[in-house]
Amino acid sequence: MVSFLSMGIFSRKSQLLEAQEAPQIMADSFYSYNNYFPAVVSRQMALGVPAIKRCRDLISGTIASIPLEYYKKSTGEMIAAPRWVEQPSANQPRFVTMYFTLDSLLMYGQAFWQIKETYQEDGRMARADWVANTRVSFTTDPATNFITQYNVDGKPIPMSGIGSLITFQKDEGILAVGASTIKAALDVQNAARIAASTPMSSGIIKNSGADLPPSEISALLAAWKRSRQNNSTAYLTSTLNYEATSFSPKDMLYNEAIQNLATECARLCSVDPYYVSASQNTTMTYANVQDERKQMVALTLQPYVSAIESRLSMDDCSTAGHYVKFSLDDTFLRTEPMERLLVLEKMLSLGLITTEQAMEMEDLSPNGNGN
């Protein structure tokens, strides 16, 4: 862990950091995964539910693949960014760091980066690594509910500068507020698994003849089970009678329960159930892909985007007068080529932009081949 000069990105004038580096606890779930209350379900258990896994991949994968950009507040101009914008961690691609940051925000409602390098002239973050929530604990001021000390792996760490934590907060996290739903989904999956591994409904074999010794009973039951695994047709002597004592998988409505809980898990993650293939939500009402993506951003992705943008735009990360923004409009929400050309044509005809600016907006070079 080292400090280094900002290579001209920041002003040479010393600036004071004004951001709140030790945040106030905003949700009870913050306690449940760090200090006081045991978790009902773990992250690994939650990801064992296919619908939760799908929602996690959709949220984390989509946002993590979108580039971050650095802007000047006074003009809205995109400017050269500190190198942590392109790659926060020296050991991982930006996608990986962002992916697990978003995973933490979904599961726990909070995420942590540990500062590994700072700029020498102002002490702002230059490099940071994602830290798993299960490694972090803390102490608080009882009067204000502000964190007074962070610990990583049980050891106190600095509260500012190299080794300190950057905290992202969003909400309570699905592991806290959705524990019962996730547990129900796991229980139904387990019941369906047992039913699938059982040749037929559980039951008893009733003997109306002479009693059999225990050894013969065990052998009879073992032979019955083996036969049911290999054959659908059974044979019993006149003194033996089979009576079912449990419902069949069809009677238990396992498929319907799994589909219903898939819908509930999607709602828990604020994802349209269509994306988890829940059978009761198989239709889409969007006019086109663009409308679908706008809806997804507004109702699902925006809280995660805002949580990361606003935290990284605070004074201890970005210099005063600058902010960080995901390039949603130029990537995930990018319009169709023909629509963009029509807009550019109109702007050119009105004299709002030059030909060179129009080509730059389409990532074209003067010779038109993008090189």
Orientation angle between helical segments 50-64 and 179-197, nearest 10 degrees = 130
pLDDT at 181: 93
The DSSP result for 278-313, as a single string, is -TT------SSHHHHHHHHIIIIIHHHHHHHHHHHT
Q: Residue 296 pairs with which residues in a beta bridge?
A: none
Q: What are phi and psi of 278, to 5 degrees?
A: -70, 130
Q: List alpha helices for 135-253, DSSP H.
A: 174-177, 179-197, 214-230, 249-252
pLDDT at 106: 95
User: Exposed/middle/buried for 212, CB within 10 Å: 0-12, 13-18, 19+?
Assistant: middle
Closest-CA residue to 145 (of 35, 24, 34, 37): 24
pLDDT at 1: 44
The DSSP result for 126-147, as a single string, is EEEEEE-GGGEEEEE-TTT-BE
Distance of CA 152 to the CA centre of its chain: 22
Kind of pairing between the strands at 136-140 and 240-244: unpaired
**Alpha carbon distance 296, 332 (integer Å):** 10
pLDDT at 95: 95
Strand ranges across the sheet with 136-140: 136-140, 147-152, 155-156
pTM over 0.85: no
pLDDT at 174: 92
- Distances in Å between the Cα of 35 and the Cα atoms of 132, 145, 266, 327 are 14, 14, 28, 36
pLDDT at 115: 93
**Alpha carbon distance 317, 355 (integer Å):** 36
pLDDT in tens, 41-70: 899 999 999 999 999 999 999 999 999 999
Give the domain ranges of the chain: 1-202+252-328, 204-245, 335-371
- Please report how many Cα atoms fall inside a 13 Å half-sphere around the Cα of residue 33, on the Cβ side: 27
pLDDT at 14: 47
- Cβ-contact 245, 202 below 8 angstroms: yes
pLDDT at 198: 63
| 1-202+252-328 under CATH 3.30.1370.160, yes or no | no
Enumerate residue ranges in the chain where pLDDT < 50.
1-14, 18-19, 36-37, 368, 370
